[in-house]
């Protein structure tokens, strides 16, 4: 059956008769419509999406808007602790809420490779459905394209997110002030090492799990105790070191870290040591780093620790006048070293 051209049939051919994605599933014709109605709508359906218009028309509260978009090309599609589906939801939710915004709506665009097993697509959609529910966001519009075998690798997803920034919240990498405290929400390097060790088939590292998670609930809890958060980011590609370098450069201040305070799971540290990788540069997908005025630090820290995704939150350093634009670290041995920007991409196709 899969080798026959569906356009040759005059009777409706149910989509389930295909075990893999065909070029015709992206044709905009009958098979495209069936793919949407039988695969996408049952997972994501809501009043707006179900209208199947060319755009989503949604209610939007007054105020400032946060808008972000991200493409997900992670390899492998399924990895310990997550998959491309929950990553595509959580990554975009996180980029919206790092502004302090409440994420409201998502758009999702899929590029499918001809021959992709239907079962794989279904598994990814189930995971996206679950992640969107957990984060409390709706997918209100989307797109599906199919490309010839070899023109993409299995499945790529682009998600766009829209949120509302609460009044009085002004979060930016350029807002760091001398004396501010730097708070990290938990352990670093989990996601990147989960991808790398699963790709390399390193059995000793089988306990390494991605930390992929939506952080909007944690952010809401932080803003409840203080709206004075100066800067906030999720240290994804390039890891904690890159995010802090971006902060230091944008605000032209120095950052001094205390290495002993930065939490790394023992299995992640072990994998990093074997592979010669510095966890400071490895991607996270469910962590945030916030820069807050010293007087608010304890309050924000306590709020974070009372949330499941911030239980291991810790102050890792402070903003200083020395060495503007640079990140420095007191090492476990008491020496100081500069924590540079990475030169190139350490791990391709990590998200
Ligand atoms: Mg980000």
Nearest of 234, 175, 217 to residue 304 by alpha carbon: 217
The Å distance, Cα 83 to ligand 1 centre, comes to: 18
CATH code given to domain 23-165: 3.30.1330.10
The Å distance, Cα 59 to ligand 1 centre, comes to: 26
Each of the 351 residues of the chain gets a pLDDT tens digit; together they read: 455 554 444 444 454 579 999 999 998 888 999 999 999 999 999 999 999 999 999 988 889 999 999 999 999 999 999 999 999 999 999 999 999 999 999 999 999 999 999 999 999 999 999 999 999 999 999 999 999 999 999 999 999 999 999 999 999 999 999 999 999 999 999 999 999 999 888 777 678 999 999 999 999 999 999 999 999 999 999 999 999 999 999 999 999 999 999 999 999 999 999 989 999 999 999 999 999 999 999 999 999 999 999 999 999 999 999 999 999 999 989 999 999 998 876 678 999
- Please indicate whether the domains covering 23-165 and 173-338 agree at the CATH topology level: no
pLDDT at 234: 98
124-142 burial, b for 16+ CB within 10 Å, e for fewer? bbebbbebbebbebbbbbb
| Cis before 215? omega within 30 | no
Strand bridging mode 289-292 / 314-320: unpaired
The CATH architecture annotation of domain 173-338 reads: Alpha-Beta Complex (3.90)
CB of 231 within 8 A of CB of 101? no
- Domain extents in the chain: 23-165, 173-338
The Å distance, Cα 93 to ligand 1 centre, comes to: 9
What pTM did the predictor assign?
0.93
The Å distance, Cα 186 to ligand 1 centre, comes to: 16
The Å distance, Cα 284 to ligand 1 centre, comes to: 10
The owner of tokens 């996270």 is: 284
**CA pair distance 298, 242, nearest whole angstrom:** 25
């Amino acid at each position: 059956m899969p080798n026959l051209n569906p356009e040759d049939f005059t009777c409706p051919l149910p989509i389930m008769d295909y075990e893999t994605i065909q070029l015709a599933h992206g044709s905009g014709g009958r098979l495209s419509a069936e793919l949407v109605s039988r695969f996408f709508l049952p997972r994501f359906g809501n009043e707006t999406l179900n209208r199947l218009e060319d755009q989503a028309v949604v209610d939007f509260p007054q105020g400032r808007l946060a808008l972000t978009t991200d493409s997900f090309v992670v390899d492998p599609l399924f990895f310990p602790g997550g998959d491309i589906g929950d990553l595509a939801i959580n990554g975009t939710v996180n980029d919206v809420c790092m502004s302090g915004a409440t994420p409201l709506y998502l758009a999702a665009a899929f590029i499918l490779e001809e021959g992709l097993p239907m079962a794989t697509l279904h598994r990814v959609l189930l995971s996206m459905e679950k992640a969107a529910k957990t984060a409390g966001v709706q997918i209100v519009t989307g797109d599906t394209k199919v490309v010839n075998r070899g023109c993409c690798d299995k499945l790529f997803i682009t998600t766009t997110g829209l949120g509302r920034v609460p009044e009085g919240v002004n979060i930016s990498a350029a807002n760091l002030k001398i004396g501010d405290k730097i708070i990290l929400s938990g352990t670093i390097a989990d996601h990147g090492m989960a991808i790398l060790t699963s790709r390399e088939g390193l059995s000793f590292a089988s306990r390494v799990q991605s930390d992929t998670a939506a952080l909007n609930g944690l952010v809401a809890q932080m803003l409840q105790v203080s709206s004075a958060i100066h800067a906030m980011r999720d240290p994804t590609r390039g890891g904690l070191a890159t995010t802090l370098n971006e902060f230091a450069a944008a605000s032209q201040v120095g950052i001094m870290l205390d290495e002993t305070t930065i939490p790394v799971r023992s299995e992640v540290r072990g994998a990093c040591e074997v592979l010669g990788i510095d966890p400071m540069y490895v991607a996270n997908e469910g962590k945030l780093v916030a820069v807050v005025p010293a007087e608010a630090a304890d309050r924000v820290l306590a709020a974070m620790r009372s949330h499941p995704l911030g239980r291991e939150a810790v102050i890792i350093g402070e903003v200083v006048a020395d060495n503007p634009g640079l990140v420095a670290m007191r090492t476990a041995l008491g020496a100081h070293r500069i924590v540079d920007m990475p030169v190139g991409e350490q791990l391709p196709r990590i998200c």
